[in-house]
A and B are shown apart, each in its own frame.
Chain A
Amino acid sequence: MGFVAARWRRPGSMDSLDEWGLGGRGFGGWVTWFLIGGDLYTAYTFVAVPALVFGAGAAGFYAVPYTIIVYPLVFLVLIRLWSVSHVHGFVTPADFVRARFGSPTLALAVAVTGIVATMPYIALQLVGIEAVLKTMGVHGHWPIVIAFVILAAYTYQSGLRAPALIAFVKDVLIYLVIIVAVLYIPTRLGGWGDVFSAAEAKFAKTPAPGDGILLDGTNQLNYAMLALGSALALFLYPHSVTGVLASKNRDVIRRNMSALPAYSLVLGLIALLGFMAIAAGIAPVVTGGKADTNTVVPLLFDAMFPDWFAGVAFAAIGIGALVPAAIMSIAAANLFTRNIYKEYIRRDATARQEAAVSKVVSLVVKVGAVACILLLDPEFSIDLQLIGGVVILQTLPAVALGLVTRWFHRGALLAGWAAGLVAGLWMLYEIPNAAKRKEHFGGSAFKLSDLGLDTATTVYAGVLALAVNLAVAAAATLALRTAGIADGADATRPDDYLADEGDPKTGRMELTGST
């Protein structure tokens, strides 16, 4: 399938990042819909969100408001990134930061943050596949390695075209499975009323205060902030930016933003599978003495569906992992090539060399992700992903706010980024998880009482860290301006942010400034 994609809309040459890494920047409405959808709704989502609902109830449902909030934000903000990238030939968010603030250092910070946050995300796609394999009784790692070799081969050859085409197959399968599951499983369990009664009974028996089919007083703020923070983080991830930049024109993106929420519906239904698993009396697979709640959805399918349909469902989860993993590795490779290789290693790299480096790096990134799974405890990969979300949020002032205002000083953005990272990592370190017997990195809900406030309320650590980041960036901007420290030059013009298909392009980005 992926190799066929190489022939699809074959360009004259695959020797530039525009072609390999952005599919020629010519994707229309349907392809973009599948591509962005394939990007954002990953195997890990299908497995982890219901697992969270299975374990904690209502708190896991945050995925629904989160995916509703994200589209209006993109509609206004990310659309400007498309335009300015179109004019200047940017491939990554760090390219934009480089030109906007005239600072390779800030661009490097954004690029490294993006790569660091993406790696565990790719690794988690493998956790999704692993959950399916565990259910089928396959233990060991070699099937994952094989899946990744295939993935690596077709991405290397076809670039972004491959996942775009496979995303179509993936979505058809997922929609089919979910619609059948949601219509069929509750009737076997006696209807939605019974499903929720069973869930209520289960949560009533657990000692944890935060679970239940409704939120309690202390985690409501966390629920809202987690939804907001995740939405903000989502479109800062380099792979979602890749999906947006690959589309043909502004209209395609804007139209898509009102069509993409169809996925939210599916995501919500998938989340409810967690409750169905409770009602069906599913007990997660236990390996090495630890229950893996990620296996509840595959187990539910296995218990409820005839074998052949469970097979289709498992295939859907498997393909659902490969598509985003491919897009993410391409995005990470582009970041390395554009903002590290070309900036610091080889200034005069040609478009052909850039594409060649990106192809190789995309392989390295995938090997790194496989190593994450093979060498680390998957539990630890999940921690890394948690950290990744908080980390990527720290690029918001430079990337997202940079799209609407040039007010911040480049030095201040760097200071804010560093302060946000330190604050975010400290908070995550301080969060214990009693249920998993962990003292650190036990979740993302930071207790405000740890800051000396007299309340049991918890807040998403990422949003607090972002607040620190913004406060430092704003204060430092004022300080640096007062001190008269030189700011970088802005290579973009206000009109660039509104450009559309057919507008003149300046082509290669101008490399001005050196700090």
Chain B
Amino acid sequence: MSDNMRNNVRDNMGHMNNQLTQEMRDLARELLASGEVKGLFGWTKGSRWYLTPPVFITKPEEADRLCYDEFAVNNLTGLLLDFRDSQDKIAVFVKGCDSRGIVRLVQDNQLKRENIVVIGVPCPGMGDKGAVTDHRQAQELPLLAKCLECRYPNPVLADRTIGAVTVTTEPSAAPSGATAEAAKGRGVGSKEADRFAQVEAIEKMSPDERYAFWQAQNKKCIRCYACRNICPACNCRECIFDSDKKNWVNKAATPTDNAFFGITRAMHVAGRCVECGECERVCPMDIPIMAMNRKLIGDLNELFGPYDAGVKADEKPPLGAFKLDDPEEFM
């Protein structure tokens, strides 16, 4: 691509973002002014050009703080858990991947569906801020790996939408709405087939190599629990890792105690992980957490039939159900 074309693409993206941001603000203002919702989770522009972090607003005049662009990467659905005991109606903006978090929370009885206004937004694919070289000036960024592997670029449910996005539970559907062209051009979903590549690479190792690989990762873990806290599937009111008084777990951050955490976390979200990839994105130590999750997803598909968590609210997660003729290896 020539510099000129690149600038054009960026201008187009900028234009589109402005329009979506405007739609977002108008809708938020309407919802808050009418009193339909008490508060709203969205994104706002952060301190640098490549940051678009979450924001919570409660007044119509705050709607102008909202912003949407290819850095609005945070899945906001986990933040709704602060309202699980509240009767207040809250609105939340969701991209395709995020929307599955809503299904997760509703299915887990953490939120009442009627207490949330879900607003679907089209997604252009999120830029990888790790590739930023100039922190002062906007530049073209590659997509995050999770966006290249995306299978649900469109919201699976929504009460309202902006940017003419299509709501669909169809996997691998083409990106729709205002950012459809940008998403396709940037390669959203183009590496869908690769999402198990890392799992396969690890499976090819010998058992000792695998153990050494995970030990090296577990050695890095600082037990900050960012992976747990951002996850819509990690929604227990009391997590076993929040208390060491029962002597189940320990605050000691040794590799094997961390392995206990890592493996337990993975098993607890098995069959419920909505693949938003946020756990891995927020890990300050760059631990490949999704490899663990994907391993479980692949095996569940193989053992009990294909299943995508957080897509259809009336389908039970595989570990919450059984069939009489499930595979029998134990005897």
Asked if chains A and B come from one complex, the reply is no
